[in-house]
Amino acid sequence: MTDVPAREFTTVGVIGLGTMGAGIAEVFARNGHRVIGVEVTDAAVERGRQHLEHSTGRAVKRGKMTEEQQDEILGRITLTTEMKDLAVADLVVEAVVESLEVKKAIFRTLDSIVDPEAVLATNTSSLSVTEISTANSRPGRVVGVHFFNPAPVQNLVEVIRTVVTEPQVLADVVDLLRDLGKNPVVCGDKAGFIANTLLFGYLNHAVAMYEGKYASREDIDAAMRFGCGYPMGPLALLDLIGLDTAYEILDTMYKQGRDRLHAPAPLLKQYVTAGLLGRKSGRGFYTYE
Q: Does 55 bind ligand CAA (CB under 6 A)?
A: yes
Instruction: Please confirm, yes or no, whether 262 is among the known catalytic residues.
Output: no
Is residue 149 flagged as an active site residue?
Answer: no
Distance CA 155, CA 46 (A): 27
Give the integer Cα–Cα distance in Å for 141 and 149: 25
Asked whether position 150 contacts ligand CAA by CB under 6 A, the answer is yes
Q: Is 125 a catalytic residue?
A: yes
Spatial separation of the C-alpha atoms in residues 120 and 135, rounded to whole Å? 12
Contact segment (CB under 6 A) with ligand CAA among 7-15, 40-48, 83-91, 149-157 equals 149-157
Q: Does 97 bind ligand CAA (CB under 6 A)?
A: no
Q: How far apart are CA 95 and CA 124, in angstroms?
A: 7
229 is an interface residue for ligand CAA by CB under 6 A: no
Task: Tell me how far, at minimum, the Cβ of 73 lies from ligand CAA, in Å.
Answer: 12
Could you tell me the CA-to-CA distances from 160 to 86, 105, 109, 121, 188 in Å, in that order?
23, 20, 22, 9, 5
* Phi then psi dihedrals of residue 103, to 5 deg: -65, -40
Calpha distance 114→121 (Å, rounded)? 12
Q: How many residues bind ligand CAA (CB under 6 A)?
A: 18
- Catalytic-residue membership of 123: no
Residue 204 binds to ligand CAA (criterion: CB under 6 A): no
Read off φ and ψ for residue 252, nearest 5 degrees: -65, -45
Q: Is 124 in the site for ligand CAA (CB under 6 A)?
A: no
Q: Which of 33, 146, 248, 262 is catalytic?
A: 146
Active site residues: 125, 146, 158, 196
* Contacting positions for ligand CAA (CB under 6 A): 55, 58-59, 62, 64, 125, 148-150, 152-154, 196, 231-232, 237, 241, 245
